[in-house]
């Protein structure tokens, strides 16, 4: 896989390490990055996008911790063989905590009853199934 | 014995200062500034013109004497650096004006003789890549070319510590991206520690691991860049709730009165900590800040 498959936007509200992480999660979930696919090295990612190497490492380590990536001996990182649903539902829900907190906050600002918000969220969830 | 001393030196922070205060005549330039730059980190120093960035850099490197406090490079007092320490530093000043009468090739050869790790091939390649003839005299260069030559000079040293004062101010966007890549490659391959000052926020956001804001001659914010959206936020208190802004809010970094009478604060917390109770008060808004927002909120 080439480093130029990633899009990095400085100035976005999502920090760069999270931008890398969420793009990787999507590419893996959709099967575009099959198990065993080797990721660009930290150095290549950093130089290609002119971003800090520690930022790239942090993104890779986070996905390694989730079981989506495995560390190859001396060859960097690759997509794990069993890369799906290795996290428990609680762990996956924790990934949404920030977004859910934000929705709750804005719902309060708009003075919306919880019932309406939950209804809309429920229909959004069912739509995409 | 020497090996032991050397090992201790290389574990010290490449750059550190403790409680630096600096005045020019009656004017204060730095007020009680303390800073440590850990090995391998890329620290972006940001602040408005006149905030004291250049003075801080020069004081850290021992080119200015502080009125109070002390600075260290690789654990050595900056004001009395040994040649061994100096040879590990690549410094690109904001206005490189030394050797203006010399030909570029001669100047670089002259400087190179003082550095054991000087990379002549890098110099040749870089001059060719940026179309700068070594036959030309430094005085004949455009500001962008002069900045390039200064960068080549600072990087050819193969420094353990690279200090860049507004390195991109005269470069166009393509050259700037080249420079950022070079910085990142050094950090990734050699673990080079980098300190650079800029007011181009997006550059800093890309390559820095840590950001330090100098405002009003002191450090207003010192934060890990990856954690910034988690550790810093903007709090808006509506005009109708003056009691809420009467006293200092825990973690308050700066505050500003808006035209409509509301007050916006920048607040900080450590990673993993909770926001203060005030964020849950009715009518209060808490917004995420990106680096540019933060800069403008703090520096206005």
pLDDT confidence of residue A85: 55
pLDDT confidence of residue A84: 56
In the structure, what pLDDT confidence band is assigned to residue B279 with cuts at 50, 70 and 90?
Answer: confident
Which residues in chain B are contacts of A7 at CB distance < 8 A?
Answer: none
Q: B207 and A12 in contact by Cβ < 8 A? A: no
Q: Is A16 in the same domain as A72?
A: yes
**Percentage of chain B lying above the pLDDT 90 cut:** 61
Q: What is the mean pLDDT of residues B185-204?
A: 92
Q: What is the mean pLDDT of residues B258-264?
A: 91
Report B:232-261 residues touching A (Cβ under 8 A): none
The domain locations on chain B are 2-216, 228-299
Strands B193-198 and B161-165: parallel
> In sequence order, which ranges of chain B are alpha helices (DSSP H)?
2-11, 53-60, 83-86, 104-112, 120-129, 143-156, 173-190, 201-207, 228-231, 242-245, 291-299
Q: What is the mean pLDDT of residues B131-151?
A: 90
Report B:176-215 residues touching A (Cβ under 8 A): 177, 180-181, 184-185, 187-189, 201-202, 205-209
Q: How far apart are CA A73 and CA B129, in angstroms?
A: 36
Mean pLDDT estimate for chain B: 90
CA-based nearest distance B18→chain A, Å: 26
CA-based nearest distance B174→chain A, Å: 12
Total domain count, chain A: 2
Q: Is A30 in the same domain as A56?
A: yes
Question: What's A38's DSSP letter?
Answer: B
Shortest CB distance from B185 goes to which of A8, A47, A105?
A47
Q: How far apart are CA A7 and CA B146, in angstroms?
A: 33
Q: Is A12 in the same domain as A59?
A: yes
The backbone torsions φ and ψ at residue B291, rounded to the nearest 5 degrees and listed phi first, read -60, -40
Q: Please report where in the chains the tokens 């000043």 appear, as a residue.
A: B93
Mean pLDDT estimate for chain A: 87
Domain assignment present for A121: yes
Q: Is A75 in the same domain as A103?
A: no
Burial B57-95 (b: 16+ CB within 10 A, else e): bbbbbbebebeebebbbbebebeebeeebbbbbbbbbbe
Q: Is A70 in the same domain as A20?
A: yes
Domain assignment present for A60: yes
pLDDT confidence of residue B224: 92
CB B255 within 8 A of CB B215: no
**For the segment B54-81, what is each residue's pLDDT rounded down to a tens digit?**
999 999 999 999 999 999 999 999 999 9
**For the segment B177-188, what is each residue's pLDDT rounded down to a tens digit?**
999 999 999 999
pLDDT confidence of residue A70: 93
More confident residue, A90 or B257: B257
Domain assignment present for A116: yes
CA proximity to A21, closest of A66, A53, A51:
A66
B272: left (phi over 0), alpha (psi -120 to 50) or beta: left
pLDDT confidence of residue B5: 44
Q: Is A9 in the same domain as A35?
A: yes
In the structure, what pLDDT confidence band is assigned to residue B242 with cuts at 50, 70 and 90?
Answer: confident
CA-based nearest distance A84→chain B, Å: 26
pLDDT confidence of residue B36: 94
In the structure, what pLDDT confidence band is assigned to residue B200 with cuts at 50, 70 and 90?
Answer: confident
Q: Is the pLDDT of residue B3 over 60?
A: no
Reduced to 3 states, what is the DSSP secondary structure of residue B197?
strand
* Encoded tokens for B196: 């650079």
Domain assignment present for A85: no
pLDDT confidence of residue A128: 61
Q: How far apart are CA A29 and CA A10, in angstroms?
A: 25
Q: What is the CATH number of the domain that holds A50?
A: 1.10.10.10
Interface check for B298 against chain A (CB to CB < 8 A): the answer is no
Report A:99-118 residues touching B (Cβ under 8 A): 105, 109
Q: What is the mean pLDDT of residues B237-258?
A: 88
Q: Is A104 in the same domain as A71?
A: no
**For the segment A61-110, what is each residue's pLDDT rounded down to a tens digit?**
999 998 899 999 877 899 998 755 566 778 778 777 878 888 888 898 88
Q: What is the ipTM of this complex?
A: 0.83
CATH class entry, domain B228-299: alpha beta
Tell me which of B188, B191, B293 to substitute to probe the interface with A (most A C-beta atoms closer than 10 Å). B188
CB B232 within 8 A of CB B253: yes
Q: How far apart are CA B201 and CA A56, in angstroms?
A: 19
Domain assignment present for A55: yes
**For the segment B103-114, what is each residue's pLDDT rounded down to a tens digit?**
999 999 999 999
CB A114 within 8 A of CB A74: no
Q: How far apart are CA B248 and CA B239, in angstroms?
A: 16
Q: How far apart are CA B153 and CA B155, in angstroms?
A: 6
Q: Is A63 in the same domain as A104?
A: no
pLDDT confidence of residue B99: 77
- The whole-model pTM stands at 0.83
Domain assignment present for A87: no
Interface check for B169 against chain A (CB to CB < 8 A): the answer is no
CA distances from B23 to A29, B65, B134, B203 (A): 58, 10, 40, 30
CA proximity to B293, closest of B219, B236, B248, B216:
B236
In the structure, what pLDDT confidence band is assigned to residue B11 with cuts at 50, 70 and 90?
Answer: low
Question: What's A31's DSSP letter?
Answer: T
More confident residue, A96 or A5: A5
Domain assignment present for A90: no
CATH architecture of B2-216: 3-Layer(aba) Sandwich (3.40)
**For the segment B12-30, what is each residue's pLDDT rounded down to a tens digit?**
899 999 999 999 988 999 9
In sequence order, what are the residues at sequence separation of 6 or more whose Cβ sits closer than 8 angstroms to the Cβ of residue B58?
B64
Instruction: Quote the domain boundaries for residue A43.
Output: 3-79
The backbone torsions φ and ψ at residue A43, rounded to the nearest 5 degrees and listed phi first, read -65, -45
CA-based nearest distance A56→chain B, Å: 10
């Amino acid at each position: 896989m080439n480093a130029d498959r990633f899009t990095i936007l400085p100035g976005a509200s999502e920090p760069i390490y999270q931008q890398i992480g969420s793009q990787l999660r999507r590419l893996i979930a959709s099967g575009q990055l099959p198990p065993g696919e080797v990721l660009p090295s930290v150095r290549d990612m950093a130089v290609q996008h002119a971003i800090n190497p520690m930022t790239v490492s942090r993104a890779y380590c986070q996905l390694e911790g989730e079981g989506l990536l495995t560390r190859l001996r001396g060859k960097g990182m690759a997509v794990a063989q069993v890369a799906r649903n290795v996290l428990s539902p609680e762990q996956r829900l924790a990934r949404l905590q920030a977004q859910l907190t934000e929705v709750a906050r804005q719902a309060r600002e708009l003075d919306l009853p919880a019932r309406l918000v939950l209804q809309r969220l429920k229909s959004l969830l069912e739509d995409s199934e | 014995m020497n090996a032991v001393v050397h090992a201790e030196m290389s574990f010290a922070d490449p750059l550190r200062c403790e409680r630096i205060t600096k005045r020019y005549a009656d004017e204060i330039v730095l007020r009680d500034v303390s800073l440590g730059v850990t090995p391998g980190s890329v620290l972006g120093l940001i602040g408005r013109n006149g905030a004291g960035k250049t003075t801080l850099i020069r004081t850290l490197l021992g080119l200015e004497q502080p009125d109070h406090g002390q600075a260290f490079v690789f654990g050595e007092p900056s004001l009395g650096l040994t040649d061994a320490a100096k040879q590990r530093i690549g410094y690109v000043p904001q206005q490189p004006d030394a050797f203006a009468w010399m030909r570029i090739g001669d100047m670089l050869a002259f400087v190179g003789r003082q550095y054991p790790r000087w990379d002549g091939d890098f110099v040749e390649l870089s001059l060719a890549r940026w179309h700068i003839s070594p036959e030309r005299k430094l005085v004949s260069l455009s500001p962008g070319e002069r900045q390039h030559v200064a960068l080549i000079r600072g990087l050819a040293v193969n420094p353990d510590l690279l200090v860049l004062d507004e390195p991109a101010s005269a470069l166009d966007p393509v050259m700037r991206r080249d420079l950022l890549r070079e910085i990142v490659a050094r950090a990734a391959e050699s673990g080079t520690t980098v300190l650079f000052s800029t007011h181009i926020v997006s550059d800093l956001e890309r390559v820095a691991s840590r950001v330090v804001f100098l405002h009003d001659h002191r450090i207003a914010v010192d934060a890990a860049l990856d954690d910034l959206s988690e550790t810093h936020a903007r709090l808006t208190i509506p005009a109708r709730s003056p009691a809420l802004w009467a006293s200092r809010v825990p973690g308050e970094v700066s505050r500003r009165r808006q035209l409509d009478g509301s007050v916006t604060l920048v607040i900080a917390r450590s990673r993993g900590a909770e926001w203060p109770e005030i964020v849950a008060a009715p009518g209060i808004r808490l917004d995420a800040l990106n680096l540019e927002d933060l800069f403008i909120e703090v520096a206005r």
